[in-house]
């Protein structure tokens, strides 16, 4: 079931990324350097939010996918549950990084492959938690350890995303 759940996460992330890719033509009249600077500024703001320096709510559907999705049919339910979590639309997303990633997809007008791979990466990132918890076989002690490290992981991830976006968006053109 974990494999189906993880596959659903990846498929859901890819769908959301492809929807953003489709909409990415809308801001194209804005000059590319302005759009890229906005992405990096949003990434910096995301780091500050995740570090607790600034506070503002994130636009989200702050509720979980109902558990009855799994109760009806465990096999299809695992895939559906993962898919809905993977889209990031019908769930609670406390970190700012997914929003920054969505803004980057929307504003950077990537090619289709980049958008699809970004969505798959988001889904794989969401799958990392249940996969490592299962692999660790530690259950509740694993949860306690994660909770104690979550602020550092969240801020570290936001910093890595901001740095990566800055490098990717402002690298010199290939000659």
Q: Which residue has better confidence, 107 or 134?
A: 107
Regarding predicted confidence, which is higher, 102 or 1? 102
pLDDT category of residue 168 using cuts at 50, 70 and 90: confident
Is pLDDT at 34 greater than 90 in this prediction?
A: yes
Average pLDDT over every residue of 52-60 = 91
Can you give the pLDDT at residue 174? 66
Looking at residue 37, what is its pLDDT? Answer: 94
Kindly tell me if the per-residue pLDDT of 156 is higher than 80. yes
In degrees, to the nearest 5, what angle opens at C-alpha 133 toward C-alphas 120 and 101? 30
Name the band, by pLDDT with cuts 50, 70 and 90, for residue 1.
Answer: confident
**Stretch 25-44: mean pLDDT:** 94
Cβ-proximal residues to 6 (8 Å cutoff; 6+ apart), any chain: 82, 123, 124, 127, 130, 131
Q: Give the residue-averaged pLDDT of 93-119.
A: 92
Q: Which has more confidence, 147 or 62?
A: 147
Q: Is the pLDDT of residue 45 over 80?
A: yes
What is the rounded CA–CA span in Å between residue 13 and residue 122?
Answer: 6
Over 70: is that where the pLDDT of 84 sits? Answer: yes
> Angle, to 10 degrees, between the axis of helix 97-108 and the axis of helix 140-169?
30
């Amino acid at each position: 079931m974990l494999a189906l759940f993880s596959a659903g996460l990846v498929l859901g992330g890819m769908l959301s990324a492809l929807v953003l890719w489709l909409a990415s033509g809308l801001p194209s009249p804005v000059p590319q350097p302005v759009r890229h600077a906005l992405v990096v500024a949003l990434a910096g703001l995301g780091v500050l939010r995740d570090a607790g320096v600034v506070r503002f709510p994130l636009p989200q559907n702050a509720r979980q996918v109902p558990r009855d999705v799994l109760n009806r049919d465990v096999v299809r339910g695992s895939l559906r549950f993962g898919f809905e979590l993977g889209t990031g639309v019908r769930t609670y997303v406390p970190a700012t990084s997914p929003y920054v990633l969505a803004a980057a997809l929307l504003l950077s007008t990537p090619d289709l492959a980049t958008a699809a791979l970004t969505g798959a990466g988001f889904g794989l990132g969401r799958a990392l938690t249940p996969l490592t918890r299962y692999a660790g076989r530690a259950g509740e002690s694993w949860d306690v350890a994660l909770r104690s490290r979550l602020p550092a992981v969240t801020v570290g991830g936001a910093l890595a995303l901001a740095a990566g976006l800055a490098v990717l968006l402002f690298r010199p053109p290939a000659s």
